[in-house]
């Protein structure tokens, strides 16, 4: 055994288990061990080590959009009600390929799952969709309908 390897073995912490070793020897970790232990206890985290930071930076716009989508902030309750009756309003065959997305300034945005359905609806189905919406929801609520490809598909 060389002197270099003996030095590594001699300086290695002597712990009963890896968890106590991580938190007792601050020089062997790249994080603040005491703070991580407190976070683990507060948040009931099972992992003995903190997750490494992501290598790729994330765009703040994507992060905020994901958080807003998860907690449903800004969701219009009227739009949620429309989503529940969308099959009746749009028709079952159209509802399988579309979903209401947002409603702003009397304009309903509808996501369509592929470009073929987008083309067909914009050419032939827009009038019947407007008529059905007016019949079920009232004439003055929706003035225009915007069709877009669904970003989640």
Q: What is the domain-level CATH number for residue 113?
A: 3.30.300.180
State the average pLDDT for the chain.
77
Alpha-carbon distances of 12 from 6, 26, 55, 79, rounded to whole Å: 10, 12, 29, 61
Together in a domain, 79 and 18? no
Q: Is residue 25 part of a domain?
A: yes
What is the per-residue pLDDT for 27? 41
Q: Is residue 48 part of a domain?
A: no
More confident residue, 53 or 21: 53
Q: Is residue 59 part of a domain?
A: no
What is the per-residue pLDDT for 138? 76
Together in a domain, 38 and 77? no
Beta carbons of 93 and 141 less than 8 angstroms apart: no
Together in a domain, 79 and 144? yes
Together in a domain, 23 and 77? no
Average pLDDT over residues 108-137: 90
Together in a domain, 77 and 38? no
Q: Is residue 79 part of a domain?
A: yes
How many domains are contained in the chain? Answer: 2
**Is residue 26 packed enough to be buried (19+ CB in 10 Å), middle (13-18) or exposed (0-12)?**
exposed
The owner of tokens 């288990």 is: 17
Q: Is residue 58 part of a domain?
A: no
Together in a domain, 77 and 145? yes
Angstrom distance (rounded) from CA 116 to CA 137: 27
48 phi-psi bin (left φ>0, alpha ψ -120 to 50, beta other): alpha
Q: Which run of H or E residues covers position 105?
A: none
Residue 116 has pLDDT above 60, yes or no: yes
Average pLDDT over residues 10-37: 53
Predicted confidence (pLDDT) per residue in 76-90, tens digit: 677 878 888 899 989
Residue 53, classed as helix, strand or coil, is coil
Q: Is residue 105 part of a domain?
A: yes
Residue 15 has pLDDT above 50, yes or no: no
Together in a domain, 107 and 39? no
Q: Is residue 62 part of a domain?
A: no
Range of the domain at 99: 73-149
Q: Is residue 87 part of a domain?
A: yes
Work out the percent of the chain whose per-residue pLDDT is above 90.
20
Predicted confidence (pLDDT) per residue in 41-79, tens digit: 888 888 887 777 667 777 888 888 888 777 766 656 778
């Amino acid at each position: 055994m060389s002197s270099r390897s003996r030095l590594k073995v001699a300086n290695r912490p002597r712990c009963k288990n890896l968890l106590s070793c991580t938190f007792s020897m601050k020089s062997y970790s790249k994080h603040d061990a005491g703070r991580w232990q407190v976070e683990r206890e507060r948040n009931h985290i099972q992992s003995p080590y903190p997750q490494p930071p992501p290598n790729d930076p994330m765009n703040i716009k994507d992060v905020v959009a994901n958080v807003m989508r998860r907690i449903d902030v800004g969701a219009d309750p009227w739009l949620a009600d429309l989503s529940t009756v969308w099959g009746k309003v749009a028709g079952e065959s159209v509802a399988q390929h579309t979903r209401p997305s947002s409603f702003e300034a009397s304009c309903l945005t509808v996501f369509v799952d592929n470009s073929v359905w987008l083309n067909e609806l914009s050419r032939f189905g827009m009038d019947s969709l407007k008529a059905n919406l007016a019949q079920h929801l009232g004439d003055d609520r929706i003035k225009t309908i915007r069709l877009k490809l669904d970003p989640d598909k």
